[in-house]
Amino acid sequence: MESAAVKSEGLVIPLIDFLAFLNGNPEQRKETANAILHGFQTAGFIYLKGLPISPETRKEVFATAAKYFRLPTEEKMKHCWTTPEANRGYSAPGREKTTQLTDINDVKKLREGNPDIKESLEIGREGEPGHPNHWPEETGELVGFKSAMLDFHDKCKDMHVEVMRAIAVAMDLDEKFFDCFTDVGDNTLRLLHYPEVRKDVFTINPGQVRAGAHSDYGSITLLFQDQRGGLQVKSPTGVFVDATPIEDTCVVNAGDLLARWSNDTIKSTIHRVVEPPSGDGDVYPARYSIAYFCNPNYKSYIEAIPGTFATETEKKYEGISSGDYLVQRLAATY
């Protein structure tokens, strides 16, 4: 049922058939749930195959995202990212700097010397009061953009619910323990485009990356990537290891809030996007990926999950509002 998608430098990221949890008998579901939790506890990352989102749907969303990024820059700038509270809109190359730094001035200095080579569009749940999504005008090849993205947002939300149910089963909680934390769908769909770039950019500046080393902020992230490569995960030895794309899979990683929620029994592992494995020519082709950042409902109060501590004194963190925590983290990186 399970094999290793990545095995290097003490890092083992399992490849797990999610269908065995979605459609299996009780024994198969428990076995699959245990594998998912174990992957999060040891690597912080898993690969899932047997996805509940069809290959056709994923292919269409990638194609639609590419059409968006082909818009003129001045058109995309009309949809600009505004505030951490909203976390919606377009970020031009160099706007966001993914990093573990938390001081705004330190991040600013890093951004100026080593900007991330990427652009993105953040799409939140539709209809959140005061925080509208920034939609492009639906003309030409962008007709149907909004409906395609909202449909994909909903499908990813359903997948988030199921992954959290698997974690609950593995932790011997009620299967629906997390449902009340995931029902609103305060999640962010991020369309990502890493433009083509000359190879000598990375030679001239050895610290140059497409996205800097960072951990994610929320509960889990669903990452759909093309076949270009470049994603790396930090191993227990401190070496960054290639998380090579595997067709028809989704890379899922635990975020900082889930690590905190689990009293650090689950790992939120640092990762980055670097130059891809070398190919022919002087230019690396564009890379596209789609990340769905899953969070507990913003109004949820997050404190250590039952079973992750024996006594109150073993709780490593005070409780915190999910929304407050995420705004704090976003404010530092933009």
Model confidence pLDDT, tens digit, residues 156-180: 999 999 999 999 999 999 999 999 9
**290-318 tens-digit pLDDT:** 999 999 999 999 999 999 999 999 999 99
Global confidence as pTM = 0.91
pLDDT at 108: 46
pLDDT at 1: 52
Q: What is the 3-state secondary structure (H, E, C) of the chain?
A: CEEEEEEECCEEEEEEECHHHHCCCHHHHHHHHHHHHHHHHHCCEEEEECCCCCHHHHHHHHHHHHHHHCCCHHHHHHHECCCCCCCCEEECCCCCCCCCCCCHHHHHHHHHHCCCCCEEEEECCCCCCCCCCCCCCCCHHHCCHHHHHHHHHHHHHHHHHHHHHHHHHHCCCCCCCCHHHHCCCCCEEEEEEECCEECHHHHHCCCCCCEEEECCCCCEEEEEECCCCCEEEECCCCCEEECCCCCCCEEEEECHHHHHHCCCCCCCCCEEECCCCCCCCCEECCEEEEEEEECCCCCCEECCCCCCCCCHHHCCCCCEEHHHHHHHHHHHHC
The parts of the chain modelled with pLDDT lower than 70 are 1, 95-115, 278-279, 334
By percentage, how much of the chain surpasses pLDDT 70? 92
pLDDT at 109: 47
